[in-house]
Amino acid sequence: MFEKLLPYDTAFVILEAYVRYFCEFKKITKRAKIRFEHRDWSGIQSDMKERALLYRNWVGQTTEDVRDSLDLKLANRTEFWIEVKQRYFEEIRNFNTRNVAETFYNSVFRHLNPGLSANPETMFVHATGSYREFKSVYPIYHTFDFTTSVPTTIERMLSLYPFEAPFENLARDVRYISKTLEAKLNSLNVHWKYARVELLKSVFYRNKGAYLVGRLFVHDSSLPFVLPLLHQRKGIFADSLLLDQNDVSSIFSYHRSYFLVDVDIVIEAVDFLKSILPTKRFGEIYSSIGFEKHGKTVFYRDFQRHLIRSDDQFATAPGIKGMVMVVFTLPSYNMVFKVIKDRFEAPKNITEEEVKEKYHLVSRHDRVGRMTDSHMFEHLVFDVRRFSEELLADLREHTASRISIKGNQLTINHLYVEKRMTPLNLYLETASDEERRDAIDEYGKAIKELASVNIFPGDLLLKNFGVTRLKRVVFYDYDEIGFLTEYHFREIPEPRDDYEAFSAEPYFHVGPQDIFPEEFVQFLFPKREWKAVFRELHGDLYGIDFWRGTQRKIKRGSSIDFYPYDESLRFRNRYGRRKKRSPKPKS
């Protein structure tokens, strides 16, 4: 009797699942404050991993629920899904998270209909509105005018973010924050009475930090105003005040884990963040606060708009060609596209499924600012006329099973999209002496920081690392990545005789997980002067003590503290007791 309601019933199964998913999402984010108050760092790591898997699990379960409720023939009818989409939209059009709900619907539809490209009739390919019609009844931020004095206002500011844990020394923190802010205002020739701060009510949590995020208004312009808070044994304290766009951009970077932050009207929070992160696309900002799947949707829409506005051709990405991936880029768009090859070149000994699992591992692991985020797409359609002949030949030769061409349409059935960086090996060739030294130092730091979160890159060659806009070195080639604790770091045994000493083959047993750090010196750097700089700055990476020591710390549950902003910006280094530093050696 009620068969006409089947599209609505199907839409409501998806909608009900979305609401339950979003509630679970918020419950995890709300736990972050309690974790911070109790210094439960392992708990917050667990929550970050749980949330990273939450979307995937809900979409998978919802797909099964819809599939079980529908006749197979009905489930494959385009006309049916056009009506399901319309019924779903009617229910969500007044949701304050309508944009995220649309993405959830798309994910379920794609799982139910594998192999289909994006279809505007059956999916929310284009945004159904600006989403900015949703405004909170109460402002999402506090406003602070400096009417009496800077310290008085800062003290009032901190009082509006209560924690069930004491501040270590609130008066000291107020003094440091005020001093830093006044110095900035003086540099801008602005009296503090003419400044204003707007601070989001939501606190941003990640790893061991809690961040108060806002903007500083001076005249008609605004600057970031971000207060990182830490909690150690003696209590909570303000670690720094960040007022520079680049410093704040690094905190919200695509190579860091996503924040745990409780927001209601997501687009309002994103718009606020965009005002202090003007160089970041909206998709990146969505991802940074935990809505990475919608960030992917927003990226796709932005990419399609860019293709309409541009006419340059996709071409092979600069650098040494990979053994596992064909990598290409669009010069006018700062992303790279990576397609798994049909056959891997020697000596790579890994399967396609293992490569995919490595990328999935990175998506749910703490990236500690040293591994780039990526979006995975299936059946992405391009205009084949936008591809250079060289790139097309490369794709046909190495990825024939992953592409299909019909008329002017080129479809790639599986690929990864990442932010474009300058390969480290190319960067070092053209950098100044000072830039080169800084990049080599960054390279060593990247290896050490990855080790601290139990990640060993496997392939440490310079071509597998990139240099970002902010000159940070980031790892981006994951096919050999593994957990540090699963490797055996060994010294090469002394040869027993001349035969062993001059043997072309190893004279000792080498297991698949054996690593000999002393060999790194032979292949990491092609130039002697680069090797000398690295040995000076990070020579401990050539020995086993660093590696085994880090393994022991990980197994004990110890963690190493790294800060997503420059150490020089920390109050303890700006205003605390300073030690005399020896002059920086010249390269």
Question: Is the model's pLDDT at 118 over the cut of 70?
Answer: yes
At residue 577 the predicted structure's pLDDT band, cuts being 50, 70 and 90, is: low
Structure confidence at residue 255 (pLDDT): 83
Q: What is the overall mean pLDDT for the chain? A: 91
Q: Specify the higher pLDDT residue, 77 or 558.
A: 77
Structure confidence at residue 171 (pLDDT): 97
Residues with a known catalytic role: 373
Question: Is the model's pLDDT at 563 over the cut of 70?
Answer: yes
Structure confidence at residue 578 (pLDDT): 46
Q: What is the pLDDT of residues 228-241, one digit of tens each?
A: 999 999 999 999 99
Q: What is the number of other CB atoms lying within 10 angstroms of the CB of residue 146?
A: 21
Structure confidence at residue 2 (pLDDT): 60
Question: Is the model's pLDDT at 587 over the cut of 50?
Answer: no
Structure confidence at residue 584 (pLDDT): 41
Q: What is the pLDDT of residues 455-477, one digit of tens each?
A: 999 889 999 999 998 899 999 99
What is d(CA 330, CA 303) in angstroms, rounded to the nearest whole number?
A: 11
Question: Is the model's pLDDT at 251 over the cut of 70?
Answer: yes
Asked if domains 311-420 and 423-556 share a fold, the reply is no
Question: Is the model's pLDDT at 525 over the cut of 50?
Answer: yes
Share of residues in the chain with pLDDT > 90 (%): 74
What's the whole-number mean pLDDT along residues 31-53?
93
Extract long-range pairs of 458-466: CB within 8 Å, 24+ residues apart: 458/482, 460/520, 460/524, 461/425, 461/523, 461/524, 462/423, 462/424, 462/425, 462/428, 462/524, 462/525, 463/319, 463/320, 463/423, 463/424, 463/425, 465/423, 465/424, 466/372, 466/421, 466/422, 466/423, 466/424
| CATH number given to 311-420 | 3.30.200
Q: What is the pLDDT of residues 52-109, one digit of tens each?
A: 899 999 999 999 999 888 876 666 688 999 999 999 999 999 898 999 999 999 999 9
Q: What is the pLDDT of residues 128-177, one digit of tens each?
A: 877 777 778 889 999 999 989 999 999 999 999 999 999 999 999 999 99
At residue 576 the predicted structure's pLDDT band, cuts being 50, 70 and 90, is: confident
**Which one-letter amino acid corresponds to residue 499?**
Y
What is d(CA 84, CA 79) in angstroms, rounded to the nearest whole number?
A: 9
Question: Is the model's pLDDT at 349 over the cut of 90?
Answer: no
The DSSP-derived string for 150-196 is HHHHHHHHHHTS--SS-BS-HHHHHHHHHHHHHHHHHHTT--GGGEE
At residue 499 the predicted structure's pLDDT band, cuts being 50, 70 and 90, is: low
Cβ atoms of 223 and 233 within 8 Å: the answer is no
At residue 254 the predicted structure's pLDDT band, cuts being 50, 70 and 90, is: confident
Q: What is the pLDDT of residues 398-443, one digit of tens each?
A: 999 999 999 999 999 999 999 999 999 999 999 999 999 999 999 9
Q: Is the peptide bond before 347 cis (omega within 30 degrees of 0)?
A: yes
- What's the first-to-final CA gap in the chain, in angstroms? 82
Q: What is the pTM of this model?
A: 0.90
Question: Is the model's pLDDT at 583 over the cut of 50?
Answer: no
At residue 257 the predicted structure's pLDDT band, cuts being 50, 70 and 90, is: confident
Segment holding 492, helix H or strand E = none
Domain limits, the chain: 3-112, 141-306, 311-420, 423-556
Question: Is the model's pLDDT at 505 over the cut of 80?
Answer: no
At residue 219 the predicted structure's pLDDT band, cuts being 50, 70 and 90, is: confident
| CATH number given to 423-556 | 1.10.510
396: Cβ contacts below 8 Å, ≥ 6 apart: 403
What is d(CA 4, CA 21) in angstroms, rounded to the nearest whole number?
A: 27
Measured CA distances, 448 to 207, 235, 475, 484 (Å): 18, 28, 12, 11
Local structure of 107: helix, strand or coil? helix
Q: What is the pLDDT of residues 293-341, one digit of tens each?
A: 999 999 999 999 999 999 999 999 998 888 999 999 999 999 999 999 9
At residue 564 the predicted structure's pLDDT band, cuts being 50, 70 and 90, is: confident
Local structure of 454: helix, strand or coil? coil
Q: Is the dihedral of CA 481, 487, 489, 492 positive or negative?
A: negative
Q: What is the 3-state secondary structure (H, E, C) of 206-258?
A: ECCEEEEEEEEEECCEEEEEEEEEEEECCEEEECCCECCHHHHHHHCCCCCCC
Structure confidence at residue 445 (pLDDT): 94
Residue 221: beta bridge partners?
218
Q: Is the dihedral of CA 428, 432, 435, 440 positive or negative?
A: positive
What is d(CA 448, CA 206) in angstroms, rounded to the nearest whole number?
A: 20
Measured CA distances, 21 to 16, 86, 103, 255, 380 (Å): 9, 21, 13, 25, 27
